[in-house]
Structure 1
């Protein structure tokens, strides 16, 4: 006769209930909070962006505005405080909140105030002598010019914060780095076979004088354009439907498919009544489909950049050891730009030059581009982080279906998705 289970054993075996907090945390750690939109779970982007934007707004008003307008510190501080209080109180009154309540949501008024308050504070305050002397224009035009710069800076901050929060880029990259580290053991044999071949190919570019005379002496803006071109080509290839089939990931033919996708998610133990009728495709908005594509493409790019970092480090060290100033001059037709040097054991110092860094950076980006293509076409390299991300996207769709089913919004979401 077996003894009855203890209370601790019963609690240990009992499944955790499906809570909004657990769901939101699960999506947030994977950079997919946008997938919660329409389910009734999860805060709005404007709510989650509010704390960061409040800190940036205070920084602009209390640091940037006084720095640009130090001709009269008291007047500048007074103008900044008036603008700050007007934005704070005005936003709360429009939102029918207490005048000095904490800002928890960024609406249209808060977004306009985020840009307009520092701009008008700079225009209305006496400018510092350094700013006036730096621009050879009449004083009023200088004020308008400084205000335009501050406005552009505020708009840039607003856009970047909303994009980062909307797509959860910080959480996504953190999770992907963990997946890359975990999957290195799984793909180690494939990488050990691929990386030497890749290094062997790009090695001949490294000792090619033509590469040094072009990439080593290319102007900074042109160099960045070349790097950006390689990055965009890799993204375009990895985001093609042949490499990332979102329709297949969001399609569930049977309830068992939904149940299988819910394993290791907060909704793993939901009842059969919470499972939607199948077959069906998870309804997604355009931004949610874009979010899934960003997650899928970024997963492969993170692995590619890890490879690029290894290639970059290898060639920087190789160039410092093996290529001297005379060789760089002969290849590029100009004296090298030395970053630093170390006295070696032989007759010449070891030089770290900008030419070496530029060439190594180009070869690293080329290797990342090459690996992105290889990882999409070589079955040995498709596993790891990229495969894990595909599983996570399918899990996110399954949990979304459960949430829509429980809230009674599934038919509405399907109708909205069909209209798009």
Structure 2
């Protein structure tokens, strides 16, 4: 395999979140090019967090007074939205710009300059904006963050992160499938829970920290379940992977015109790192589906609560007046009780969806089987790649 073709093959594996398949090590220049999306994400995020923090008063009373100004309220909401969207967009744009470029001097220079801005300039700006107390502490923290990014990219986490961003966008595009196939039946059941007094009473007594603890508990249970199921799925997939994969399944790979020879030796066994990488990618892909599904459920019950549940009903259920709602320190024109119930039902529904996608035949065919087919193509490409470099 010539160098150009090997570079395309290795870039293809990294774009699929499978850096463990790649043999050999990267130089510092190549590593700097690969870390560019993460540096862009971190820098844009810190700029927007600094702006958002500078806009937010120290006290609830001062915040309430400022929100009475419609211009400030609009700016506050816009900055909050941009804090979520722009870092991801910046990382995605840099990722696209880097595609096919290796060891480009311009990219390396830009990444180093942006890293210096992140390490030195942003702590100074944060101190001037009275968001941070110490410039030196900010410099040390940002330096450690940038070093951590290089280490994570070196071990392949950057490839997985890039793949996760693309997978997240694809999951957003699949909202129609989630809405039509997964939501209706579950919402019939969850709506009855939503209208029970006991659920409102339990969630109303939870502090926000305890609520996030409940969310974390459900998340851990879901991850453990997915890992146990997907490890077995991967083991079965490796054993039965097709030795004569149709050429059309390889059209999107650097191995379009190749085929596996039936008399060729068995595939090299998966290394421990490759097994972990494949399981992690499958679990992360499933978790992204669960997160998108949970957000849809959360938004549904917020809207349903606003339309159907007034403050008197909430008071009769919780025995106290509704309190102003906040989410991630963002003030919302909703009651805190409604937010708490919606979060609880969203995470509960996400766990139910994860279990259904792995066990129910209809859910499995729509949501899990495409991921397994994707891994099957990756395993076939791995065989061809290792055969060519051996």
What pairs up with 1:295-310 in 2 under 5 angstroms? 295-310=281-296
Q: Check the 8 A contact 1:308/1:367 in 2, yes or no.
A: yes
Match of 2:354 in 1: 372
Match of 1:343 in 2: none
CA shift at 1:393, angstroms? 0.8
**Equivalent of residue 389 in structure 2, options 393, 407, 410:** 407
What pairs up with 1:223-238 in 2 under 5 angstroms? 223-238=211-226
Match of 1:10 in 2: none
Match of 1:258 in 2: 243
- 1:277 corresponds to 2:277: no
Larger radius of gyration: 1
**Equivalent of residue 362 in structure 1, options 344, 347, 354:** 344
Q: How far apart in 1 are the matches of 2:310 and 2:285? A: 38
Q: Which deviates the most, 19-28 or 312-321?
A: 19-28
Match of 1:288 in 2: 274
Q: Check the 8 A contact 1:177/1:302 in 2, yes or no.
A: no
**Equivalent of residue 173 in structure 1, options 150, 168, 185:** 168
Secondary structure of 2:244 counterpart: helix
RMSD: 4.8
Q: How far apart in 1 are the matches of 2:139 and 2:289? A: 42
Q: Check the 8 A contact 2:302/2:339 in 1, yes or no.
A: yes
Secondary structure of 1:352 counterpart: strand
Summarize the Cα distance change of 1:401–1:147 in structure 2 as closer, same or farther, 3 Å threshold.
same
Secondary structure of 1:383 counterpart: helix
Summarize the Cα distance change of 1:311–1:277 in structure 2 as closer, same or farther, 3 Å threshold.
same
Q: Check the 8 A contact 1:315/1:360 in 2, yes or no.
A: yes
TM-score (norm 2): 0.64
Match of 2:379 in 1: 397
CA shift at 1:156, angstroms? 6.4
Secondary structure of 1:319 counterpart: helix
Secondary structure of 2:245 counterpart: helix
Higher share in helix: 2
Deviations 1:317-349 (A, max 9, x none): 221122111222233343223469xxxxxxxxx
Q: Which deviates the most, 218-227 or 259-268?
A: 259-268
How many matched pairs?
322
What residue ranges of structure 1 are gaps of 5+ in the alignment?
1-17, 66-100, 136-141, 341-350, 409-420
Q: Check the 8 A contact 2:13/2:22 in 1, yes or no.
A: no
